[in-house]
Amino acid sequence: MYSLKFDVVVFILTIKLNSVLSSKEDSSYWFDLGKNDINNALNKPVIQGTAKNVILFVADGMGITTTTAARIYSATESGYLAFEQFPHVGILKTYNADKLVPDSASTATALFSGIKTNYKTSGVDSSVKLNDCEASLKPEARIDGLIKWAQDAGKSTGFVTTTRVTHATPSALYAHIPNRGWECESTIPDDSKKCKDIARQLVEDEPGKNINVIMGGGRQCLQSNTKDLPGDPVDTWACFSKDGRDLIKDWIQDKKGRDKTYAVVQNNEQLNSVKSSTEFVLGIFANGHMAMDYARNKSPKGMPSLSNMTQKAIELLHNNPEGYLLVVEGGLIDYAHHRGHARQALDETVSFSDAIRVALEKTDPQETLIVVTSDHSHSLVFTGYLSRGSNVLDVAQESVLDKIPYTSLLYGTGGPNNYQYSSINGTVSRADPSINDTRDYQYSQQAVVLTDEVTHGGSDVLVYAKGPMAHLFHTVHEQTYVAYVISYAAKMGQFKNNSQRIIVPSMFLVLNMLLMGISI
């Protein structure tokens, strides 16, 4: 009842804030807003119980600039994305073991396993360098994480992603690999063939083969020699299997051999028809990554949205009396940023927010911990002096020096489409964005430095939480902290046998105990 009252207050405040542009923002408005915020802070709900269920949402590449811009894009500057009014917020440091600016495999390993590792490695500790197959095979270098901890605790497990199910972020849930690019056999060098590729680890090994719900793209890594399909081309950037494998068939045989109920689904119609009592579901909806939400085929034969997959996953997993762990990745935010298409990235962020809204509607906050975060940021910049009420994708203003307009959103680095400079009569000139439709999904925002693509950012990211033990997120944390909070809240993994309360004696008490000769 207490939490319900708090949610009602938040809902009323949201309505008031969303009407800010049509109201008079005088001093009394801001004073009332401040009082309401203080009242909410004083009455912030703290849920101390055990988290029966955990849903971890990871937005790949969603730095704070992306969140801010997506909020304005989807509503107004005074609105909120679904997760931005969670009662508990912290900050995560995203560096990995050998780089200040990380990649998604290393950061996912930190999030899911609580251990920082090296650039582009997944599910192994920092003793394993990039491409070192021999080192990755050592048992002491291979680390377990949330999926294994949850399975050992008797919980159902699942993950859904808009990327390939073998891609960097999901790979850290189940694989141990010295190169995130080894998604199938064709990218593994001849001298490293003793290392099993990521796709095979998902289907053949623990904990991958015990994951109840798997949804995303990546057919070309699971089955050999896949072909272009209408609206679903082969991903030329990704691993393409040629060894004759059919890991989807192998997945089916494993479930049959264990006398488990199962379903393989490949479109909206098939996904919707899956009974909630089905024990194992494999949804592979694309050769490579799935289509972005604005471009996907929404018909019965088309691809589901992240919200569709999240809803079905919760329905499938919630039957276990021991609870479940679900990881949801909005992976195409990063994909859009890498190609310098800001609108696509913002649109995917809104779709990610929509999936979180579904999870909030489908779960009980008293028994489900929901954590929302990102693996890393991007070099997106929000600048200029755009007027309130403007579209965040528009031109901000004209440069005082070169008299050429620039957009409110820019990139620090970018590919050829973003690097919009030319030399005219020996003078470097920047292209005028006002002659283009800067709101177009395919428009490439301008970048300062020419690279092969937009590169990651190294800034901190935020973590938002709601539910049991969500208040443990409260300050600046290492990214690894997420795995330990989830482990502690759900009584699994490192904290499976620990009591729910950790009592740490104060330094004063420790000194007195030592002086009294009491062992500690």
520's CB contacts (< 8 A; 6+ apart) are: 505, 510, 513, 514
Task: Please state, in angstroms and rounded to a whole number, the distance separating the CA atoms of residues 253 and 251.
Answer: 6
Return the closest-CA partner of residue 55 out of 135, 140, 158. 158
What does residue 160 show for φ and ψ, rounded to 5 degrees?
-130, 145
Indicate which residue of 74, 78, 104, 171 is catalytic.
Answer: 104
Any known ligand binding at 60? yes
Please name the residue that has the structure tokens 């912290």: 90
- How many residues make up the chain in this entry? 520
Chain Cα centroid distance, residue 503: 32
* Type and span of the H or E element at 202: helix 198-204
Task: Please state, in angstroms and rounded to a whole number, the distance separating the CA atoms of residues 263 and 313.
Answer: 13
Any known ligand binding at 169? yes
Any known ligand binding at 376? yes
Residue 164's SS3 state is strand
Any known ligand binding at 375? yes
Bridge-partner residues for 409, per DSSP? 382
Instruction: Check if 104 is active-site.
Output: yes
Any known ligand binding at 338? yes
**Residue 93 · residue 478 · CB < 8 Å:** yes
Q: Which 3-state string (H, E, C) describes 275-318?
A: CCCCCEEEEECCCCCCCCCCCCCCCCCCCCCHHHHHHHHHHHHC
Task: Please state, in angstroms and rounded to a whole number, the distance separating the CA atoms of residues 71 and 289.
Answer: 25
Give binding residues for Mg(2+) as ranges: 60, 167, 169, 329
Residues annotated within a binding site: 60, 167, 169, 329, 334, 338, 375-376, 456
Binding positions for Zn(2+): 60, 334, 338, 375-376, 456
Active site residues: 104
